[in-house]
Chains A and B, each alone.
Chain A
Amino acid sequence: MSAQPAEPTPPAPAGGEAALEVRGVTKRFGALVVLRGIDMVLRQGEVLGLVGDNGAGKSTLVKILSGFHQQDGGDVFVGGERVRFHSVEDARAHGIETVYQDLALIPQLPVFQNLFLGHEVTTMGPLRFLNKRAMRQLSRQYLDEIRVNVPSIDAEAEQLSGGQRQAVAVARAVRAATKILLLDEPLAAMGARESRLIIDLVKDLASSGRVSIVVIDHNYAHLFELCDRLNVMQGGKITIDQQVHETSLEELTELMVSSYRRQLEDVSSAGAG
C-alpha cells in the first residue's frame, strides 16, 4: 500500500523507458481553461488508464497527443525526443494512433475504406490510385484475425450497429499503431461480448510490449483489468497517480473524494480571500 499524496510529484526526466511524456501542458479555449499543467508519463509497454469527471480535460489531452489540438504551453516527448505536433499526420508519423470518442468514421464510406482512412494502399506517384483489391483483402484478413464481425467489408459505416462501428474504429487504430495507442472511451456503446473482444485485443497489443497505451474509460472494472496504472484528472490537472496492483477501487474512490474536497476548499478559500 503506497498511496501517493494527491499532488503528484513532477515526473522524473524522460528516461529510456518513457514512451510518452507530457510536461506542464496547458490548453485553453477562449476564456475556458481546460488543461492547467498536465504532467504525465507513459512507460514503454504500459497501459495507462485516465479517469475523471466529464469536462476534466481527458479528451482534450488525448486530442493534443493525437495532433488534433495544439497545446498552448508545455512539452510533449515521444521516446525521449521533444515533439511538436501540428497535425494528426505529424502525430501519426511518430507512430501514434487514436480512437476518438466520436469514432471518426465516415458514414458513406465502406468498412474497408474506413479501416484504411489515412493509411490508404495506393500506387506510387502523385495521382495515388487506390489499390482497393489489396485494401479489401487486408481488411477481411485483419477483421477475421481479430474476430471482429461486420455484415460485409463493403457495407457502408452508416449501416453498421453502434458496436460494430466502434469495433471498426478500434481496429483501425490498433492495426496502424506502431508506438502509442490512445483510446478515448473505446467501450462506450458496447455490449458485454463486444467489450470483452476489444479488451482482449488491447491486452494482446499491450502484452507484445511494442505499443504503449493510454485509455480513457468510466468503467472501473474494465480499467482495473486492462491497466497497469491509473491517473485521475480533476479540473485540468492530474491529481492521483496509482499503480493498479497497489490499489483497490475503494482506495481510489477515497482518494478521489478527498482530492475533490480539497479542491473545493481551495476554491472557497480563494473566493473568501
Chain B
Amino acid sequence: MQSGAQTPAAAPAASPPGQRRALSLGGRILRVFLYQRELTPILITIGVFVYFWARAGSATFLNSLSLSSAAGFAGPYGAIAVGEVLLLVLAEIDLSAGQVFLFCPWVMYWMDNLGLPLALSILIALAVCGGVGAVNGLITVRLNVPSFVSTLAMNFILFGTVLIASNETQASPIPLSTSAPSGGGFAGQFMGDWLWAEFAWLVAITIVVHVMFSRTRFGVRIVATGGNLLGAAEAGVPIRRVKVWAFVICSFLAGLMGIVDAVKYGTLDPGNAGVDYILYAVGACVIGGTALTGGRGTVIGAFIGAILIGLLNEGFTLIGLSIDQFYVAVGVVIIFAMALNVQFDRMIARSRAQ
C-alpha cells in the first residue's frame, strides 16, 4: 500500500488519481445510482405511470380528475414523509405526525368557534403543532426516551384529546371549505378547495425542505448528528437542539397539510386514526431511498415515494383491481426499495479506499 514516491502523501490514495475516470460505463452508471438515491424511485414511478397509462387507456388515466386524485392521495403522505425524512436521517422517528395532521384542523376549528379571526386560528393551530413537536423532541433528548416511544405516546394522547374535546361528534363545515361561509373565495381555493391545492402545497413544502436539508447549515447538522452522534457532539454540533427543531418542523408540516386536507374535505371525523398516515409516510420515505439507520436520506425521494403510492392507489382502481391488491403492491414495493437501499449502502462501504 505505497503511493507514488515523490509526493509525501499523508494518506496514500488506494488508487492512482486517473483510475476514477477509467471506470467502465456500467460502473459510472452504478455510481450515479448509488449517490443519487432518488433516481431509482423516479424511474420506477415513471414505469408505473406508463404502465397504468397503457393499461387504463390514456384518456382515462390522464383525465385530470384521475391524476388530481392520485396527487391528492399523495398530498398528506408526502407532506408527512418530507418532514419524517429529517427525523429518519437523525435516526429518530415521529409516529405522532399522522395524528398531528388530523389534530391541527381541529384546533383551527375550535379557535374559529371561539370567535377568533380565521387567520389567527390557523396560526394558533400551527403553533400548537410546532409545540407538540417540541414536546416530542424534548422528551426524547432530555428524558432519553426513544422517539419511537415518546411519539407513540403522543399519538395516543392527541387521538384521545380529539375524541374527548369533540364529544365524538363530527365537525363541519370546516372554515374555508366550499360549504362554509368563509369558503369559495381565493383563500379557500388557496388553502385546499382548488383541485390541485393539496399537491401544490406538497410541491412547495418539498422544495423548501429540500433546500433546507441540502443547502443550509441546519441540513449539515442533521446529517452529522444522524451519521455520528458522538462525533457530531465532539465537533461542536448542538445535537439536542438539532433534534428538537427537526421534531418541530416535522409536526408543523404535518399540521399545515392537515389544515389543507380538512379544507378540501370540509368535515372532520374524530374517529380517524393517524397511524395509517404515518405508516404510508414512512413507506414513502423508504421507497424514496431513505434508510432508517440515520445519516442518509433524501427529501425529493420521499416526495417521489408518496407520488408512487398515490399512483398505485389510483391506478389499481382504474384498471379494475381492488384496494386489497393495492396494499400487497405497496408492501412489495417497500421491501424491494429497502433491500435496494441496504445493497447500495453496502456497495458504498465496499468502495472505500484500501
**Contact, CB under 8 Å: A158 / B8:** no
**Contact, CB under 8 Å: A107 / B236:** no
Within 8 A of A (CB), among B333-354: 348-349, 351-354
Q: Is the interface of A mostly helix, strand, loop or mixed?
A: loop
**Contact, CB under 8 Å: B8 / A106:** no
Nearest-neighbour CB distance to chain B for A161, whole angstroms, equals 4
Determine whether A272 belongs to the interface, using a CB cutoff of 8 Å to chain B. no
Q: Of the candidates A106, A113, A167, which one forms a contact with B10 in the assembled complex, judged by CB atoms under 8 Å apart?
A: A167
Determine whether B232 belongs to the interface, using a CB cutoff of 8 Å to chain A. yes
Q: Which residues of B contact A158 (CB under 8 A)?
A: 348-349, 352
Q: Of the candidates B11, B224, B236, which one forms a contact with A194 in the assembled complex, judged by CB atoms under 8 Å apart?
A: B11
Determine the distance from Cα of A117 to Cα of B223 in the docked complex, in whole angstroms: 11
User: Looking across the interface, which residue of chain A has its beta carbon closest to that of B297?
Assistant: A108
Determine whether B215 belongs to the interface, using a CB cutoff of 8 Å to chain A. yes
Nearest-neighbour CB distance to chain A for B54, whole angstroms, equals 39
Q: Of the candidates B15, B223, B296, which one forms a contact with A151 in the assembled complex, judged by CB atoms under 8 Å apart?
A: B15
User: Looking across the interface, which residue of chain B has its beta carbon closest to that of A165?
Assistant: B11
Q: Which residues of A contact B3 (CB under 8 A)?
A: 149
**Contact, CB under 8 Å: A108 / B9:** no
Q: Which residues of A contact B348 (CB under 8 A)?
A: 156, 158-159
Q: Which residues of B contact A68 (CB under 8 A)?
A: 233-234
**Contact, CB under 8 Å: A107 / B11:** no
Determine the distance from Cα of A37 to Cα of B56 in the docked complex, in whole angstroms: 79
Nearest-neighbour CB distance to chain A for B66, whole angstroms, equals 38
Determine the distance from Cα of A72 to Cα of B219 in the docked complex, in whole angstroms: 34
Determine whether B149 belongs to the interface, using a CB cutoff of 8 Å to chain A. no
Q: Interface size on A (CB < 8 Å)? A: 49
**Contact, CB under 8 Å: A127 / B216:** yes
Determine the distance from Cα of A66 to Cα of B231 in the docked complex, in whole angstroms: 13
User: Looking across the interface, which residue of chain B has its beta carbon closest to that of A119?
Assistant: B236
Q: Which residues of A contact B142 (CB under 8 A)?
A: none
Nearest-neighbour CB distance to chain A for B229, whole angstroms, equals 10
**Contact, CB under 8 Å: A118 / B216:** no
Q: Which residues of B contact A147 (CB under 8 A)?
A: 7-10
Nearest-neighbour CB distance to chain B for A160, whole angstroms, equals 6
Stretch at the interface among A86-94, A223-231, A247-255: A86-94
Within 8 A of B (CB), among A89-123: 89, 92, 98, 100, 102-109, 113, 117-118, 120, 122
**Contact, CB under 8 Å: A151 / B20:** yes
Knowing A128-B217, A158-B352, the reply to whether A117 touches B14 (Cβ < 8 A) is no
Nearest-neighbour CB distance to chain A for B136, whole angstroms, equals 23
- Chain B interface bracket (under 10, 10 to 19, 20 to 34, 35 or more): 35 or more
**Contact, CB under 8 Å: A102 / B231:** yes
Q: Of the candidates B227, B237, B353, which one forms a contact with A160 in the assembled complex, judged by CB atoms under 8 Å apart?
A: B353
Within 8 A of B (CB), among A113-171: 113, 117-118, 120, 122, 127-130, 146-152, 156, 158-167
**Contact, CB under 8 Å: A87 / B238:** yes
Within 8 A of A (CB), among B201-235: 212, 215-220, 223-224, 227-228, 230-235
**Contact, CB under 8 Å: A104 / B14:** no
Q: Which residues of B contact A151 (CB under 8 A)?
A: 13-15, 17, 20, 353
Determine the distance from Cα of A127 to Cα of B245 in the docked complex, in whole angstroms: 13
Determine the distance from Cα of A164 to Cα of B7 in the docked complex, in whole angstroms: 15
Within 8 A of A (CB), among B148-203: none
Knowing A148-B10, A160-B352, A161-B354, the reply to whether A130 touches B217 (Cβ < 8 A) is yes
Q: Which residues of B contact A196 (CB under 8 A)?
A: 8
Determine whether A193 belongs to the interface, using a CB cutoff of 8 Å to chain B. yes
Q: Which residues of A contact B232 (CB under 8 A)?
A: 104, 106, 117
Nearest-neighbour CB distance to chain B for A256, whole angstroms, equals 29
Determine the distance from Cα of A129 to Cα of B220 in the docked complex, in whole angstroms: 10
Interface centre among A98, A104, A122, A146 (most CB of B within 10 A): A104
Determine whether B12 belongs to the interface, using a CB cutoff of 8 Å to chain A. yes
Nearest-neighbour CB distance to chain A for B30, whole angstroms, equals 15
**Contact, CB under 8 Å: A120 / B220:** yes
**Contact, CB under 8 Å: B227 / A88:** no
**Contact, CB under 8 Å: A193 / B12:** yes
Chain B 74-98 against A: per-residue CB contact (8 Å), 1 yes, 0 no?
Answer: 0000000000000000000000000
Knowing A117-B237, A130-B220, the reply to whether A149 touches B9 (Cβ < 8 A) is yes
Q: Of the candidates B9, B217, B352, which one forms a contact with A122 in the assembled complex, judged by CB atoms under 8 Å apart?
A: B217
Chain B 238-261 against A: per-residue CB contact (8 Å), 1 yes, 0 no?
Answer: 100000000000000000000000
User: Looking across the interface, which residue of chain A has its beta carbon closest to that of B219?
Assistant: A130
Determine the distance from Cα of A127 to Cα of B236 in the docked complex, in whole angstroms: 19
Determine whether A197 belongs to the interface, using a CB cutoff of 8 Å to chain B. yes
**Contact, CB under 8 Å: B223 / A106:** yes
Interface residues of B (CB under 8 A from A): 1, 3, 7-15, 17, 20, 212, 215-220, 223-224, 227-228, 230-238, 295-296, 348-349, 351-354
> Can you show 18 pairs from A to B with CB atoms below 8 A apart?
A88-B235, A89-B238, A102-B230, A104-B228, A105-B228, A108-B296, A113-B220, A117-B235, A118-B235, A146-B10, A149-B7, A149-B11, A150-B11, A158-B348, A160-B11, A161-B12, A166-B11, A193-B8
Known A148-B10, A161-B14, A162-B354; 5 more pairs at CB < 8 Å: A102-B234, A107-B227, A108-B295, A159-B352, A167-B11
